[in-house]
Amino acid sequence: MRKKVIFGNWKMNHTRNEALNFVLEMNEEIKNAKNHGILIGIAPTYMSLDIVAKKKTKSLLLAAQNVNEHESGAYTGEVSIAMLKEIKNLTHVIIGHSERRQYYNETSVKCNEKMMAMEKANLIPIYCVGETLQQFENDETKEIIKEQIHQGLLNLSSDFVTKMIIAYEPVWSIGTGKNASKEIAQDVCHFIRNEIAKLYGQKVANKVIIQYGGSVKPNNVKEYLTQPDIDGALVGGASLKASSFIELISNLY
């Protein structure tokens, strides 16, 4: 049976002190969630990863928001896998978030290069896929998702894919207050699982955790996670305050 996994993506928010206070406030709820079979993680900025790693409870998963595929070199402003590996208990990295694709021109090919490098280092991707509003309105959602899955997962091992998290985030719902209905979200997540099965077999596909992301809030998270192919959520704004994140988590019990 797949676990339920909730990750908070902080994006470019929270100073180190704010991150520290957040983690200290959250630690007890993280333990409660684990007792209910739910895993919780956060993705702070690079600047806060070390302090969060030192002060978090053991049960809280820790992710970076991005990584460069090269080992080292003249890549100003970038962070390598080796640098992330120095952060104790950091296990996950968000790859291909729509904001990276939109603002920094990241393609599924680039995401694949990053995940190929991550496999060698045993870092787990939270691989984001999703369509824009125009693509959604043109009924191109599954065409777009298919490309992102097939190109993004190209040449990865089945063992590595089994460990991955796939996050379906319709771009038109991120930070807009608009939500994909639970029916739409389930349909796309089911499609994603089927595409993984075509590439790696049904046994692998059945093990992959698939999250929904896009204006996930305390009052709607449970309806998404009751869907058969939705195993968790990638949460943005509702993860920035400990109080709202705690409410979101506790609403799943």
pTM check: above 0.85: yes
Is residue 90 within 8 Å of 121, Cβ to Cβ? Answer: no
Confidence tier at 175 by pLDDT (50, 70, 90): low
pLDDT 10s digits, 45-54: 999 999 999 9
Angle at Cα 109 formed by Cα 103 and Cα 115, nearest 5°? 95
pLDDT 10s digits, 177-202: 677 899 999 999 999 999 999 999 99
Domains annotated for the chain, with CATH where assigned, are 4-250 (3.20.20.70)
- 179 vs 2 pLDDT, higher one: 2
Residue 150 is a catalytic residue: no
Structure tokens at 130: 């999703």
The residue from 14, 29, 97, 195 that is catalytic is 97
> Within a 13 Å sphere around the CA of 216, how many CA atoms are in the beta-carbon half?
33
The residue from 99, 106, 169, 195 that is catalytic is 169
Residue 97 is a catalytic residue: yes
